[in-house]
Amino acid sequence: MINRLAWVFAVALTTVACATNPVTGSRELALVSESQEIALGQQSAAAAVAQLGLVDDPALQEYVQRLGKTLAAASERPDLPWAFGVVDDPTPNAFAAPGGFIFITRGMLALMRSEAELAGVLGHEIGHVTARHSVAMISRSQLAQLGLGIGAMISPTIASLGELAGTGLQLLFLRYSRDAELQADDLGYRYALGQGYNVAEMSNMFVSLQRVGEASERSTVPAWLSTHPYPEDRVRRIQARVAAEPLPTGLRSGVDEYMEHIDGLVYGENPRNGYFREQLFLHPDLGFQVNFPRGWQTRNMAQAVLAGSERQDALLQLTLADGNIHDAAAKFFSQQGIEATRVSEEHINGLPAVTGYFSAQTEQGLLAGVAAFVSLDQHTYALVGYTPAQVFSSYEPVLRAAVRSFNRLTDPQVLAAQPQRLEIIRSSERMSLTAFASRYPSTVDLNELALLNQLDDSGTPVPAGYPFKRVVGPPAP
């Protein structure tokens, strides 16, 4: 009897809950099947693209995609639907969604100097996928939650954005264990070396990220550092490994190819995508501005602008809506669970609009809010602010003022704002970074320039032909 039970138990385990780890070959408990893993990854990848947007540079995208796919094709899981993208985010970061969807930010690309470094970072992220690190961390409750697409504080009824902000993204910014990070480094090293890259350069990235962290006057914390701690440790490990098993000769760095692809890359915030000047949100490309409530936290995402009150009990979201203002308003106010009041046509700063109040019964209780649909230059904008019903009266004036601040942007300087860009210049002679910077002025200071060029001493001359990066273009007004 006992034997039989044990046997039944063993069968149940192998058929239901056990899978072989592709990297280690060991069998481990897996709650998530490969098809679930891919589905979850697709969801996360869609959320990343929706939130961050992709860099509009087909040649660069193709370059990163090609390199990534080459590395992944030689990995333990060549048959996953591997996809690689450069996201439009100035913060240095790289991340992998389960199932083989890998992203690197343009802020990370700006810090690198060679294809070998890029191969190391992509290889590291590929390693998280091949070793199923995120799969191992997905709990049953997360699985259930992701399936339902529950956003943080927002009801399913009014919530496209909550889903956008919540669903899937949690999978992208997992904190892996130290062992998982080191394993991803080892795998990345192996994948990059397998394609003939000079893996000794992998440590350059860690050094650069560490320097970004130390120069912490910059408002952006390097995200890759917060999810990828222990940089000194990792630099030491790579150096030790190179020392222990000498690298073959003739390994590639690919500095020229790399520099060619990042020449002209947008650097820092891109004002064309909209930007904040204090609480005033300005969008030169779409030609509008909105004044968000004072003291609220704001966030500019690719498909929405979000603002949350200090106590996090009120939210204001701005999105583009489909159809004209009447269609969009009708669609919004007629949603199941929403009760609309005082819906009327009017003008907001001379622009045709439909506005109204609403309440919505949700899993989080009764919400109350204000919504406006405004027409400007063939686009319909939806501004929706809401709070729990019991505090709505205290927020109503603030929300109404913000919604009614929507206006056409007319400041010619703002309308003409252009992003700063990287420019690659090869020195015609031996020169130091300081000499370079005085001959070819940048709009960033010498420290930041040193970081971008991976030079820690701006006074030491580098050989002629060295591809220097500089940053050109004035900051947004």
Q: Which is nearer to Zn ion, 83 or 184 (CB)?
A: 184
Stretch near Zn ion under the rule CB under 5 A, chosen from 174-182, 362-370, 445-453, 463-471: 174-182
Least Å distance, CB 120 to Zn ion, is 11
Q: According to the binding rule CB under 5 A, does residue 223 interact with Zn ion?
A: no
Least spacing, CB of residue 94 vs Zn ion, in Å: 8
If DSSP codes are grouped into helix, strand and coil, which group holds residue 194? Answer: helix
Nearest approach, Cβ of 225 to Zn ion (angstroms)? 11
Which span sits near Zn ion by CB under 5 A: 83-91, 176-184, 347-355, 440-448? 176-184
CB 39, min distance to Zn ion, A: 22
Stretch near Zn ion under the rule CB under 5 A, chosen from 178-186, 277-285, 372-380, 391-399: 178-186
Binding mask 377-416 for Zn ion (x = CB under 5 A): ----------------------------------------
Question: Which one, 102 or 265, has the nearer CB to Zn ion?
Answer: 102
**C-alpha to C-alpha distances, 288 to 139, 208, 325, 416, 475, nearest whole angstrom:** 43, 37, 16, 13, 19
**Which is nearer to Zn ion, 228 or 261 (by Cβ)?**
228
Helix (H/G/I), strand (E/B), else coil: 72: helix
Nearer of residues 85 and 231 to Zn ion, judged by Cβ: 231
Which range touches Zn ion (CB under 5 A), out of 161-169, 184-192, 274-282, 379-387?
Answer: 184-192
**Residue 85 — φ and ψ, nearest 5°?**
-145, 150
Beta carbon of residue 38, minimum distance to Zn ion (angstroms, whole number): 20
Query: Judged by CB, which is closer to Zn ion: 96, or 154?
Result: 96
3-class secondary structure per residue, 282-350: EECCCCEEEECCCCCEEEEECCEEEEECCCCCCEEEEEEECCCHHHHHHHHHCCCCEEEEEEEEEEECC
CA distances (Å), 477 to each of 49, 442, 473, in order?
Answer: 27, 17, 12
Q: Please, what is the minimum distance in Å from the beta carbon of residue 386 to Zn ion? A: 37
The residue (of 241 and 272) whose beta carbon lies closer to Zn ion is: 241
Length of the chain: 477
Residue (177 or 239) nearer to Zn ion, CB: 177
55-64 in b/e form (b: 16+ CB < 10 A) is bebeebbebb
What long-range pairs does 332-337 form, CB within 8 A, spacing at least 24? 332/158, 332/358, 332/371, 332/373, 332/382, 332/384, 333/358, 333/371, 335/157, 335/158, 335/360, 336/157, 337/155, 337/157, 337/361, 337/362
Rg, Å, the chain Cα set:
25
* Alpha-carbon distances, residue 195 vs 74, 81, 119, 343 (angstroms): 9, 20, 9, 62
CB of 127 to Zn ion, least distance (A): 8
Task: Compare residues 127 and 162 and give the one whose CB is closer to Zn ion.
Answer: 127
| CB nearer Zn ion, residue 177 or residue 447 | 177
Structure-block tokens of residue 347 = 């003008």
Q: Which is nearer to Zn ion, 115 or 181 (CB)?
A: 181
Query: Which of 40, 230, 2 is CA-nearest to residue 137?
Result: 40
The upper half-sphere exposure of residue 330, i.e. CA atoms within 13 Å in the direction of its Cβ, equals: 6
In whole angstroms, what is the distance from residue 235 CA to residue 207 CA? Answer: 7
Measured CA distances, 49 to 45, 135, 161, 301, 386 (Å): 6, 21, 13, 10, 26
**CB 228 to Zn ion: min, Å:** 5
Query: Which part of the chain contacts Zn ion (CB under 5 A), choosing from 166-174, 223-231, 300-308, 332-340?
Result: 223-231
Segment lying near Zn ion (by CB under 5 A), choices 188-196, 225-233, 243-251, 382-390: 225-233
User: Closest distance between Zn ion and the C-beta of residue 101, in Å?
Assistant: 15
Contact stretch for Zn ion (CB under 5 A) within 69-77, 183-191, 316-324, 352-360: 183-191
Assess 121 for contact with Zn ion (CB under 5 A): no
* Window contacting Zn ion (CB under 5 A); options: 186-194, 221-229, 367-375, 448-456: 221-229
| Distance in angstroms (rounded) separating the CA atoms of residues 122 and 394 | 49
Local structure of 86: helix, strand or coil: strand
Side chain identity at residue 346, one-letter code: E
Q: How many residues bind Zn ion (CB under 5 A)?
A: 3
Q: How far is the CB of 156 from Zn ion (least distance, A)?
A: 33
User: With binding defined as CB under 5 A, does residue 184 bind Zn ion?
Assistant: yes
Query: Which residues within the stretch 243-262 sit at the binding site for Zn ion (CB under 5 A)?
Result: none
Residue nearer to Zn ion on the CB measure, 123 or 293: 123
CB of 181 to Zn ion, least distance (A): 5
Binding site for Zn ion (CB under 5 A): 181, 184, 228
